[in-house]
Structure 1
Amino acid sequence: MMEAHLNLFLRKDSEKTQVRLKPAEAMLWLEDRISQLQKEKQKIAVGFAGRSCSGKTTIANNLANAHAGTSLLFSQDACYRPMTEVLANGWNFDQPEALKLDEYEDHLAHLMKGEPIEYDVYSRKNGKVEGKTKVAPRNLVVNEGLFPLMDRFADKFDIKVGVNVSLHGALTRRLLRDVKGGESSWTLLETTRYFLNVAEPMYKRHIEPTMKNADLIIENDYDPVIEAEKCNLTEAQRKYKAPAGINTLVENLPGVSLLQSSRQVDHYYTDGSFKDTGEIIRIREEGEAANPIIHFTYKGPKVVTENSSERQRLDFMVDPEAKQGILSAYKESSSVDKMRTLYSKKGVLFSIDSKVIKTEGGRESKLGDFIEIRESSGEAAVNELLSALGMDPSSAIKKSYSEM
């Protein structure tokens, strides 16, 4: 039944149809297509293309591993020019000129003729060639990169695959891969600025138009439930509705230290899917309105426990230029204005949020005053603080301000 179902999707030259599938279904489609082609020819070439962080390398690697011993995974990245040459010519690494495309085409030709090739080993982290490697041809050549589906290369492949991901998914993966994953020496701000100002425009100009050549489009969007764990930083906090006169109550407690107080305006954004995924994108402006400190925060889906909520999070400071780039990629859904006063008591870090006002769809809602406690402070210490304030630990609010 599955084979019959997949055969309905096979592209025929006369029909020029294009299939769109999720990764698991796509792997079955590819296996079915490869099996048919193996009856007709000895050597088969499969080309994967997509924007940076679409997941094309992972999917191509999975296909090659499924045919271990008879396959060769060859990355177009092996044909990048040295960083010094790219920069000297005013190029960037997301445009075709940054690669030695004639050499790339030559490598493909040799492999399909059954001839070995030798290519450079390119470091994404330092932009340099770190050596050479020689590989023998295999009956299944799996190639991946930004530009394998360009018109000049499309007829080199028996199966052409485009890997698709949303702008939000690609940016989030890029931040987790390059910075948190250590694949780049760039900061989070530098990565964000490059992605929005360079990589995304280059995708629109050079890569997206080549997707028309694909036989198969794999819809491989970011999965926040699984991938957000790469943030490696868990935010766990409790939020409570504050009783009247909370600031006076706190300041009269013994051992309390006032750390800082500032106005915070939080802008929440969406790409249209966050209600389903539970993710949060936030830009916080803190301090003087004329010259605020700007923070970017990504939060993964919320995990609710008995008295608190947890999220994986990634945050860093941005400049006005990066802020504008982010604004172009997302749509603002709401904003929250508050005065936050940060305190410490016996190692417990907590804040009083006063006069919290949420604005959504042009409508203003006065939410009131709240106390937020960092869960890392420890259960006993948190309960001791709440008891001193006359508050019930079980009355925690499990919604963020943007959800209220």
Structure 2
Amino acid sequence: MKRLPLEGIRVADLTMVWAGPFATKILAEMGAEVIKVESPQAWDLVRTLIPMPGVEEFWNCSYYFNDYNRDKKSVTLHLADPRGRELFLRLVERSDVVIENYRADVLDKLGLGYEVLRERKRDIILVSMAGFGKTGPEREYVGYGPIIEQMAGLASLTGYGDDGVPYKTGISYGDPVAGAAAAGAVALALIRRQRTGEGAFIDLAQREVMATLIGEAFVRASLRGEVPPHRGNRDERYAPQGVYRCFGEDRWVAISVRSDEEWRRLAQAIGRPDLASLTLPERKARHDELDRAIEAWTEQIRPQVAAQVLQAVGVPAAPVIDTEAIHDDPNLVAREFWVTLPHPRMKPWRQPRSPWRLAEANPTPRRHAPLFGEHNTEILGGLLGLSQEEIAELEAAGIVGRAPVDARPGG
């Protein structure tokens, strides 16, 4: 494997939970040295939120944490203590990027705002990922993915139309999209620094990132004052369209008919030539009836078979794959998408590799997420020049540590 695009870049990572760690995971996958900074008194809560049951070091045994923090290093520093703060600033002097997703006021309260960082490293890049941005009346609100969805307008587009109740997505969708945006912001700032020699402060509001992804709905509301109705799995232009029950427990196939010709082919395939002549307006008016006719056919066969039959006659269709079955998806297996990393405290499991495959440097996960404070000696001693005695004194004072203070599973 040749040189990855971010090799030689060092990131001081203050992020926690999902959005921020997802951003720094991308940077790590692309070759950056990402140093995750946690306090013994205020760690990334995902370490203890959903740990493996019945293990001693549960803070090192969370699949959730390990998924978003692989390829990183861990150093612990109590930033609210002047000694921990000073050590972090020394780390900043040796870093290219600082990234955080605290509430908007936290970094300044710690005495680590952008101007402070610039005094120690003139060309430092700071990315702040507060849920609602660093300015404005909502700046002090805490933003989690489900809240971001609601306040960015996404939930207004979801639901089934019969009761007007919005639905959130199955995941906290605002988190990973904000993380991807933050990783892109870092790349742009690095390019700018290479050209100008200047650092940057990037105020990236997670709510605003989410809002940019539903532009069509905003245009419709702005131009015509219309709020799109909830359509469930249906479409404004195509009919019929939906997700149909198949043979087996909780097995489904997705089907979308875009033209009269595709409908004729579908009607023949499901043994209902009597419906083949229906026009688009007629199909929309009889959508419920057509859904029942399609499902009478699909519920007798497995979703993969239904999809293959329809694809063979030119009708868009695909099986709905759950998070268990996707691990054995033939295409993903053939592309070696899943990798297994050894972990000193956990059983190995299959994880997705980076979706960005550079022809000259194909990134693949290199190591498990770090144990709490695993690299204290390497970072504090090797990088910052502290002696073993000094590190031991900091541990005794609670400035650094090898375990979260008073940690409890699930909290």
Q: TM-score range by the shorter chain?
A: under 0.3
Higher relative contact order (CA 8 A, sep 6+): 2
Give the structure with the larger helix fraction: 2
Using the size of structure 1 for normalisation, the TM-score is 0.24
When you count strand as a share of all residues, which structure comes out higher? Answer: 1
